């Protein structure tokens, strides 16, 4: 590893692979392409675009991402099987900078699954890594559950992988079991004991089961690892992964003790965080580090007084650093399109003329209904504009009557495949009546798995962001919408999810994983 590489931390994003393994977080083909483009623009070094052999949909997505990528290395995942590796190479080979990532579980628990002896597994590692290197000069190898693998055996198989041609060795904490001191000691031990360790890059991939993923990743970097595997918003299996925004901002803020560089344009963090939350259907918790709604909010009188006198008393980073202004927008109903475009640019969002026209109409409507329009409101409008489109179902009008005098009543007009239909339905509350009206006009068997409402900003006129997750015949679809009218936002989110299910019905199997595979760290 060169001296320059020693001062650089490479960011490996696996939102489109490990992140999508979160139950219910499956993304459509177009959504994967969009997120990959945003990651590439943000400066992510390596994008793990998917698991090509898992399904035809995954293969198509990885292939198209590889062809479209402008800067990032595009990586595909493959099990320690020759056909997996061949399929992975077919998907990534057209990238400007392709990578094959192959793995096998090396701990006693994982060796027992294929019933391989230590020697048999060592031979398979040699065979599969060699095969991958014969196809591609950029090969990453991972010993799954490395943190629970015997140290002598881990050193042995890492050495085998290096000799077989691996250029990156990833050390996964697959079950989020390790602690920072152990994470650092493990990397130091491998660098000191394994021949050839100084010629390759060590990576770390930490899960968050005990809430220590970010700390474990940074400890590994301090010990000599130079690649961090992470996801946007920490999305991933079980409790998730190391969050990209956390490690990047930690390196930026604590450069005094971790003087390592990254290429990430941090001003784009907030925008991509919101977009991933939308397409995955996993809203960001309010107190989430860096990107949570409350990350830069101050309610305590003492805190507010300190912020007014000197922001550094209670903020260790600037909201602007992650693409979010710290004050309310000086925009109102008299503001023009140029002012809105300038604000979007300040927030790190680039839109075309047609998108700007749509967002501007939504902004004007919102400004007429709200006393204050915040940056979060603008980002919610961008998300809504990107989510809506020419859909099978479109709400024309909605009127709801509710109160203590009887059941709620929803009067709904909706276009279904271009045909306008209407009905009146009663329900146990306004949302229940509205959802029943939608089902009356568009009969379906989709089961509601999640209905969640979050306020984007403060006040009784705040926009509500509603997330809906539906399941139908094993297919899962999510929808999200924002509006100052919570019931209307609920209806839009529900209809958005139904539109996605409608698309998937016509592409059965396209976005579904067709084989089972063990959890990968």
Number of domains in the chain: 3
* pLDDT at res. 372: 66
- Domain for residue 293, yes or no? no
CB-CB contact of 226 with 235 (8 Å): no
- Domain for residue 408, yes or no? yes
Measured distance CA(495)–CA(497) in Å, rounded: 5
The boundaries of the domain holding residue 336 are: 301-386
Find the CATH number of the domain harbouring 143: 3.20.20.70
Mean pLDDT by 10 residues, the chain (521 residues): 68 96 86 96 97 95 97 98 98 97 97 94 98 98 98 98 98 97 98 97 98 98 97 95 97 93 94 92 89 72 61 81 64 72 81 86 82 74 68 92 90 93 95 96 92 80 86 84 91 91 63 37 41
How remote is the C-alpha of 36 from its chain's centroid? 10
362 and 410 part of one domain:
no
- Domain for residue 296, yes or no? no
376 and 355 part of one domain:
yes
Q: Give the end of a domain, one of 365, 386, 407.
A: 386
267 and 364 part of one domain:
no
Q: Give the end of a domain, one of 325, 352, 386.
A: 386
* pLDDT at res. 389: 56
134 and 14 part of one domain:
yes
User: Among candidates 62, 83, 59, which has minimal Cα distance to 14?
Assistant: 62
- Domain for residue 273, yes or no? yes
| 207 annotated as ligand-binding | yes
- Domain for residue 519, yes or no? no
160 and 265 part of one domain:
yes
Angle between helix axes 29-42 and 56-68 (nearest 10 degrees) is: 30
List all residues 6 or more positions away from 99 whose beta carbon is below 8 Å from its beta carbon: 46, 73, 74, 75, 76, 92, 136, 138, 139, 140, 168
166 and 189 part of one domain:
yes
- Domain for residue 294, yes or no? no
* pLDDT at res. 88: 98
* pLDDT at res. 521: 41
* pLDDT at res. 300: 54
* pLDDT at res. 71: 96
What b/e string do you get for 382-410 counting C-beta neighbours within 10 Å, with b at 16 or more?
Answer: bbbbbbbeebbbbbeebebebeeeeebbb
* pLDDT at res. 269: 95
- Domain for residue 292, yes or no? no
Find the CATH number of the domain harbouring 446: 3.30.160.270
- Domain for residue 134, yes or no? yes
241 and 316 part of one domain:
no
Measured distance CA(320)–CA(332) in Å, rounded: 21
List all residues 6 or more positions away from 116 whose beta carbon is below 8 Å from its beta carbon: 124
List all residues 6 or more positions away from 500 whose beta carbon is below 8 Å from its beta carbon: 28, 477, 478, 479
Measured distance CA(43)–CA(34) in Å, rounded: 15
Measured distance CA(48)–CA(85) in Å, rounded: 14
64 and 213 part of one domain:
yes
141 and 17 part of one domain:
yes
Q: Give the end of a domain, one of 369, 386, 403.
A: 386
360 and 402 part of one domain:
no
| 110 annotated as ligand-binding | no
95 and 207 part of one domain:
yes
32 and 49 part of one domain:
yes
């Amino acid at each position: 590893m060169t001296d320059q590489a020693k001062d650089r931390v490479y960011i490996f994003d696996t939102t489109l692979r490990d992140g999508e393994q979160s139950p219910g977080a499956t993304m459509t083909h177009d959504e994967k392409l969009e997120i990959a483009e945003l990651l590439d623009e943000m400066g992510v070094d390596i994008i793990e675009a998917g698991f090509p052999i898992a399904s035809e949909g995954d293969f198509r997505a990885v292939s198209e991402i590889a062809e479209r990528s402008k800067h990032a290395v595009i990586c595909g995942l493959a099990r320690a099987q020759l056909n997996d590796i061949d399929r992975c190479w077919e998907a990534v080979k057209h990238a400007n900078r392709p990578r094959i990532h192959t793995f096998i579980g090396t701990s006693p628990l994982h060796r027992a699954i294929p019933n391989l002896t230590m020697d048999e597994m060592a031979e398979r590692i040699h065979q599969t890594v060699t095969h991958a290197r014969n196809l591609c000069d950029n090969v990453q190898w991972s010993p799954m559950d490395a943190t629970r693998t015997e140290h002598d055996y881990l050193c042995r198989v890492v050495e085998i992988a290096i000799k077989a041609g691996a250029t990156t060795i990833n050390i996964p904490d697959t079950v989020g079991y390790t602690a920072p001191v152990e994470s650092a000691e493990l990397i130091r031990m491998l660098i000191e004991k394994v021949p050839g360790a100084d010629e390759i890059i060590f990576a770390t991939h930490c899960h968050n089961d005990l809430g220590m993923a970010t700390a474990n990743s940074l400890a590994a970097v301090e010990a000599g690892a130079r690649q961090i595997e992470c996801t946007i918003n920490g999305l991933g299996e079980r409790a998730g992964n190391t969050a990209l925004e956390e490690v990047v901002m930690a390196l930026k803020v604590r450069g005094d003790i971790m003087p390592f560089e990254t290429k990430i344009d941090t001003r784009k963090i907030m925008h991509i965080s919101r977009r991933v939350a939308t397409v995955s259907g996993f809203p960001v918790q309010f107190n989430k580090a860096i990107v949570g709604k409350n990350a830069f909010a101050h309610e305590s009188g003492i805190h507010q007084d300190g912020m007014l006198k000197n922001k550094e008393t209670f903020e260790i980073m600037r909201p602007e650093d992650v693409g979010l202004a710290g004050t309310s927008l000086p925009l109102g109903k008299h503001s023009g399109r140029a002012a809105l475009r300038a604000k979007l640019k300040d927030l790190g969002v680039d839109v075309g003329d047609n998108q700007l026209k749509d967002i501007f109409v939504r902004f004007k409507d919102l400004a007429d209904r709200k006393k204050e329009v915040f940056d979060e409101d603008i980002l919610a409008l961008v998300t809504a504009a990107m989510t809506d489109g020419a859909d099978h179902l479109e709400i024309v009008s909605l009127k709801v009557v509710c109160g203590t005098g009887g059941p709620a009543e929803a009067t709904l007009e909706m276009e279904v495949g271009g045909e306008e239909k209407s009905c009146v339905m009663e329900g146990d509350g306004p949302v229940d009546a509205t959802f029943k009206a939608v089902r009356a006009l568009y009969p379906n068997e989709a089961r509601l798995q999640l209905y969640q409402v979050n306020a984007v900003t403060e006040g009784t006129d705040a926009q509500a962001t509603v997330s809906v997750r539906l399941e139908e015949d094993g297919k899962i679809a999510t929808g999200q919408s924002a509006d100052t009218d919570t019931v209307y936002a609920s209806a839009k989110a529900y209809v958005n999810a139904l539109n996605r299910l409608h698309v998937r019905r016509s592409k059965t199997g396209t976005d579904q994983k067709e084989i089972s595979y063990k959890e990968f760290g």
